[in-house]
Amino acid sequence: MRIDVISIFPEYFAPLDVSLMGKARAKGILDVRLHQLREWAHDVHKTVDDTPYGGGPGMVMKPEIWGAAIDDVIGEGSPRLVVPTPSGRPFTQAVALEYAAEPWLLFAPARYEGIDSRVMIEYGSRLRLDEVSIGDYVLAGGEAAVLVMIEAVARLLPGVLGNAVSAVDDSFAPGAMENLLEGPVFTKPPVWRGHEVPEVLLSGHHGKIARWRRDEALRRTLLKRPELIERGELSAADLKAIASFRADGDPVAD
């Protein structure tokens, strides 16, 4: 997958040299190209922002500089353009999967009060453009949001995770886990500071272990994100498990 990022802080993306992302790049699975937006600014100060029309605090990023940068980076191509903004569509695992199926993504993280809105109008008519939010809070700039999205997308690409099955069991993974949080996980030793690993996990009984994991995912989701469960489909076994938590007086949501 090719990923281009245009930013006034390309150095912000140094973490993409590390760990899974670094390995994916070294293997050629991920081709990340970073571009300094200021290279398309031609005044002596390399200015990329100006005061907002209508007044008010803060600065707005200039459309002609973004336009020139995007035109040069895309050439005759048509990547999916992703513009991070708190007012965008929520970034979820489903969106990460959608992006992982794309051959080419172009990220346009802003600073200040964002990019002049005409840039989104212009490229919204020429490219597939998504304005995307990584959560209901405001960052100082879009670079951290882009790092989050690249990591969530790239780990889904074939060959990036050591064990491809691990993404299938993740919280929010499409299929059985779509509306569930993953339950607790344990490793050796079997007893640590008096805390024991649940016996079923030591039993070697795959069916019972799978059911236990499912029950724990249900229990955790009911406790921490009950609204997710309402959106999902539950099997008869799931409903029975939930009824038994309630009968046992577990503090799960109604």
Return the active site residues. Answer: 86, 113, 155, 170
Q: Which of 10, 63, 141, 232 binds ligand SAM (CB under 6 A)?
A: 141
Q: Which stretch binds ligand SAM (CB under 6 A): 119-127, 137-145, 151-159, 216-224?
A: 137-145
Q: Which is nearer to ligand SAM, 113 or 169 (CB)?
A: 113
Q: Which of 75, 137, 189, 193 binds ligand SAM (CB under 6 A)?
A: 137
Taking residues 62 to 91 in sequence order and writing x for each that binds ligand SAM by CB under 6 A, - otherwise, the string is ----------------------xxxx----
Please state the closest distance from residue 48 (CB atom) to ligand SAM, in A: 13
135 near ligand SAM (CB under 6 A): yes
109 near ligand SAM (CB under 6 A): yes
13 near ligand SAM (CB under 6 A): no
1 near ligand SAM (CB under 6 A): no
Please state the closest distance from residue 19 (CB atom) to ligand SAM, in A: 23
Please give the residues from 211 up to 250 whose contact with ligand SAM meets the rule CB under 6 A. Answer: none
Q: What is the 3-state secondary structure (H, E, C) of the chain?
A: CEEEEEECCHHHHHHHHCHHHHHHHHCCCCEEEEEEHHHHCCCCCCCCEECCCCCCCCCEECHHHHHHHHHHHHCCCCCEEEEEEEEEEECCHHHHHHHHCCCEEEECCCCCCCECCHHHHHHHCCCEEEEEECCCCCCCCCHHHHHHHHHHHHCCCCCCCCCCHHHHHCCCCCCCCCCCCCCCCCCCCCEECCEECCHHHHCCCHHHHHHHHHHHHHHHHHHHCHHHHHHCCCCHHHHHHHHHHHHCCCCCCC
Q: Which stretch binds ligand SAM (CB under 6 A): 10-18, 138-146, 150-158, 237-245?
A: 138-146
134 near ligand SAM (CB under 6 A): yes
Q: Which is nearer to ligand SAM, 61 or 73 (CB)?
A: 61
Q: How far is the CA of 91 from the CAs of 57, 210, 226, in angstroms?
A: 28, 29, 19
Cβ-closest position to ligand SAM? 142
- The residues binding ligand SAM (CB under 6 A) are 84-87, 109-111, 113-114, 133-135, 137-142, 145
